[in-house]
């Protein structure tokens, strides 16, 4: 084989800022995959989200300098903890496993990003905050209100997540951004339970979504120390993110989401504790990997906005 030249090297995940192996005290950020999609009511497949996402960022297609000129390599050493060992025949037990894993991330005192999975993973995250006893405010980007009490005979469904989260003892309140598929009963529940709702229509009529996110984040972080941001990718228009469990047409663009999240993260970066999740990425429906590339861009700019200067 002396004439055959191999090029066989392992490209790094996101310019090397996400790795499985770091020296003990090196990581300053945590990443956890949660391949749970048992309760998906329409399109199953979000369980493949974390591993497909790792493959997408395991390429040399990306630079890690944000549009504002921040080189993420100078700031981030993100530890990839792998995936929670989901039991795909038992939703209740799986959500319990999620919450047990996330407790460790909360106690580590570093920010974390949990990658779904469908939206039911956020119920597990809420239960983790409850276990630790940390009061938590939720910023919830979603085309749906996820306020069903139960659906398809389960109250732990991805369509019940905000309802379950609002019932945990440490719940401080929530703001939903970008909803456009809902029932009147859900809107009433939101009104009576400290859940502020801002529709897609209200968002797209803002003149500057970065400043809108900045103002929103400032107001929230004045009152609350620990904030979790939950990003259901169906907040995006299906043209920008076709690969989601329950698409709803007429959503915001990838550019809108980048500026909205950049504003939010920039204004909450000094709060005591920030965490977030990205959910509902279903790679089985990702024509031309449109959704995956949207996630990468949103991730890079969101990390840039979280840098404390």
Shortest distance in whole angstroms from residue 254 CB to Mn ion: 18
**Which of 80, 130, 146, 256 is the binder for Mn ion (CB under 5 A)?**
146
DSSP character at residue 306: T
- The stretch near Mn ion (CB under 5 A) out of 55-63, 70-78, 118-126, 128-136 is 118-126
Shortest distance in whole angstroms from residue 176 CB to Mn ion: 10
Q: What are phi and psi of 53, to 5 degrees?
A: -65, -40
Residue 142 in contact with Mn ion, rule: CB under 5 A? yes
Shortest distance in whole angstroms from residue 40 CB to Mn ion: 11
| Cβ 209 vs Cβ 121: under 8 Å | no
DSSP character at residue 12: P
Shortest distance in whole angstroms from residue 121 CB to Mn ion: 10
Helix or strand run (H / E) with residue 268:
helix 254-268
Angle at 143 between CA 126 and CA 204, to 5 degrees: 120
Locate 254 and state its tokens.
């990838």
**Which of 47, 119, 163, 164 is the binder for Mn ion (CB under 5 A)?**
119
- The stretch near Mn ion (CB under 5 A) out of 183-191, 209-217, 224-232, 251-259 is 224-232
Return the number of the residue (78 or 233) whose C-beta is nearest Mn ion.
Answer: 233
- The stretch near Mn ion (CB under 5 A) out of 72-80, 81-89, 117-125, 147-155 is 117-125
Residue showing tokens 């920039």 = 266
Instruction: For 193-218, give one letter per residue: b (16+ CB within 10 A) or e.
Output: eebebbebeebeebeebbebbbebbe
Give the total of residues touching Mn ion (CB under 5 A): 4
**Which of 80, 232, 237, 301 is the binder for Mn ion (CB under 5 A)?**
232
Exposed/middle/buried for residue 233 (C-beta within 10 Å: 0-12, 13-18, 19+): buried
Shortest distance in whole angstroms from residue 45 CB to Mn ion: 15
Summarize as ranges the residues that interact with Mn ion (CB under 5 A): 119, 142, 146, 232
């Amino acid at each position: 084989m002396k004439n055959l030249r191999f090029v066989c090297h392992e490209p790094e995940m996101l310019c090397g800022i996400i790795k499985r192996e770091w020296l003990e005290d090196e990581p300053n950020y945590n990443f956890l995959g949660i391949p749970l999609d048992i309760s998906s009511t329409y399109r199953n497949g979000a369980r493949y989200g974390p591993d497909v996402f790792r493959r997408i960022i395991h390429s040399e297609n990306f630079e890690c300098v944000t549009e504002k000129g921040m080189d993420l390599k100078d700031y981030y050493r993100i530890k990839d903890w792998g995936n929670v060992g989901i039991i795909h025949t038992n939703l209740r037990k799986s959500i319990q496993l999620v919450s047990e894993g996330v407790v460790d991330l909360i106690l580590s005192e570093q920010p974390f990003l949990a990658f779904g999975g469908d939206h039911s993973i956020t119920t597990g995250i809420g239960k983790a905050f409850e276990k630790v006893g940390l009061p938590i405010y939720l910023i919830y980007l979603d085309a749906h209100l996820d306020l069903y009490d139960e659906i398809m005979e389960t109250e732990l469904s991805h369509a019940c997540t905000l309802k379950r989260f609002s019932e945990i003892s440490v719940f401080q309140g929530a703001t939903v951004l970008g909803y456009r598929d809902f029932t009147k009963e859900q809107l009433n529940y939101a009104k009576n339970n400290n859940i502020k709702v801002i529709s897609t229509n209200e968002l797209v009529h803002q003149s500057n979504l970065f400043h809108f996110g900045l103002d929103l984040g400032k107001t929230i972080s004045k009152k609350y120390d620990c904030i979790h941001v939950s990003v259901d990718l169906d907040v995006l228009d299906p043209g920008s993110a076709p690969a989601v469990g329950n698409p709803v047409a007429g959503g915001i663009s990838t550019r809108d989401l980048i500026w909205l999240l950049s504003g939010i993260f920039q204004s909450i970066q000094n709060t005591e504790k920030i965490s977030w999740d990205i959910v509902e990425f279903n790679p089985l429906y990702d024509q031309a990997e449109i959704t995956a590339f949207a996630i990468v861009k949103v991730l890079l700019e969101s990390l840039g906005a979280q840098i404390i200067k």
